[in-house]
Chain A
Amino acid sequence: MAKMKLGRKLLEMLFIVGLGLVSVAMLLAAQSYAAPAVRRFQMLRLRTSILGAAGVATAPAEVNGIFEARVTEARGNGATYYRVDSLVVYEFKGRGLWGPVEGVITLDSGLTRIRSVRVLVQEETPGLGDRIKDPAYLVTYQNKTALEPLVLAMRHQAVEANEVDAISGATLSSEALLVIVGDAVAQLRQAMGK
């Protein structure tokens, strides 16, 4: 009697383990099917955004060719940055309110002014914090100073060179992006030895 119960328990556990193994196998298959396409897309997206951030307009089919012709990759202090004409483009990663935030920032070659900020990956609150990815919001970073720390303009529109707008209803996400951008500028400064 006790033996039967034990056998039954074992079978049940085997069922769960088997189900888990089938699931893992299916997930591995799905991932290996998706991985090359995802990598290709990420690379293309990074290159497109580096060119776009430097103001070079491209058709999707020409991105790789133009990138290889016009962009030089440089490394310093463990970080990679890209030179396009007289601009410096840097890929940044940081922590948002809910998840990772990734994007690219463009500065002039003297690292005095931010030319543009683009957010490519974010997991902020849909409809609120996710506006940190909207170009209409990111315009607020254009031509802001890279020489002193930026601050959020909380109760008014940003006017000064060191002020950026906050998103109403998503102050924490706006703040997170501000910190990420500040860190990116500092990292880039170290990488370029300035």
Chain B
Amino acid sequence: MNFRKLAYTRPWRVFITGFFKENAVCYQVLGLCSTLAVSNKMENAVAMGASVVFVMLVSSAVISLLRRVIPVQYRIITYMIVTSTFVIIIDHFLKANFPTISGQLGPYVGLIITNCIVMGRQEAFAIKNGVGLSILDSLGAALSYSYVLVGIAAVREFLGFGSLLGVKVTPPHFENWVVISMAQGAWFVMAIFVWGFRRIAKLKPLEQE
């Protein structure tokens, strides 16, 4: 298998574009509400990221499978029905099998229904492309959302709670920077994160009309 050739194949490009260059949060500027809300602790961010990956993979696959029969006027409500079905199923699954984790996540799992990245990728990609490509596309987008979420959460948990993944890492006299763990602090950290990411990915500012 020639790995250099792999970089020029369509599936790889579909995946890597969503994963890096067209990052869901930093480039498409989608899913900001949950990025602000759930990025206060890494544990929450990881669980949220994993749930979003699952929901996006399954619902994009279903939308892509049904793409020839979904009536154009009703496609948005179709996305909603499909997405919320899988979100509620994963919620039940967690409640039955991992009651403690489910208790910690609380309302977060249900919030995936309102995550615009899910619907964004369905409307932009899954409705027009085959199942395999749609899965790769949503995998890239969901993972890009997840690593931004976990990245922001790492900074916020460190500064706001003095811990990482619930483990205390700061010296005892470290004063917790409470504002960073609140929604207002999330804006600062996210803005700096987005700026840094766009620098690294060499994204240009949008042209002004």
Partner-B contacts on A (CB < 8 A): 11-12, 15-16, 19-20, 23, 26-27, 30-31, 33-34, 37-38, 41, 45, 99, 122-123, 126-128, 130, 168-169
Q: Which residues of B contact A12 (CB under 8 A)?
A: 71, 73-74
Interface pair B92/A23, CB less than 8 Å apart: no
Q: Which residues of B contact A (CB under 8 A)?
A: 37-38, 40-41, 44, 69-71, 73-74, 77-78, 81-82, 84-85, 88-89, 92-93, 95-97, 99, 106-108, 160, 178, 181-182
A-B contact pairs, 23 of them (CB 8 A): A12-B74, A15-B69, A16-B71, A16-B77, A16-B78, A16-B81, A27-B88, A30-B88, A30-B92, A34-B92, A37-B95, A37-B97, A41-B95, A45-B99, A122-B106, A123-B106, A126-B38, A126-B107, A126-B108, A127-B41, A127-B182, A130-B106, A168-B178
Q: How far is the CB of A41 from chain B (nearest CB, A)?
A: 5
Residues of B close to A122: CB separation below 8 A? 106
Q: Are B81 and A126 in contact (CB under 8 A)?
A: no
Alpha-carbon gap, A81 to B202, bound state (A): 64
Q: Is the CB of B38 within 8 A of A31?
A: no
Q: Which of B38, B44, B88, B182 contacts A169 (CB 8 A)?
A: B182
Max count, chain A CB within 10 A of own CB: residue among B69, B85, B160: B85
Residue of A nearest to B181 (CB): A127
A34-B106 in contact (CB<8A): no
A contact residues around B160 at 8 Å (CB): 127
* A23 CA to B82 CA, complexed, in Å: 7
A41–B40 CB distance below 8 A: no
Which of B44, B71, B84 has a CB less than 8 Å from the CB of A126?
Answer: B44
Which of the residues A23, A41, A169 comes within 8 Å of B85, measured between beta carbons? A23
Bound: A127/B182 CA distance, A: 7
Q: Would you call A33 and B92 a contact (CB within 8 A)?
A: yes
Cβ–Cβ contact B74 & A41, under 8 A = no
Residues of B within 8 A of A123 (CB): 106-107
In the complex the two chains form, is A34's CB within 8 Å of B40's CB?
no
Of all chain A residues, the one with the shortest Cβ separation from B157 is: A127
When A15-B69, A34-B92 are in contact, do A127 and B85 touch as well, CB less than 8 Å?
Answer: no
Contacts of B178 in A (CB 8 A): 168-169
Q: Are A126 and B97 in contact (CB under 8 A)?
A: no
Min CB–CB distance B69 → chain A (angstroms):
7
Q: In the assembled complex, how far is the CB of residue A94 from the closest CB belonging to chain B, in whole angstroms?
A: 17
How many angstroms between the C-alpha atoms of A122 and B181 in the bound complex? 19
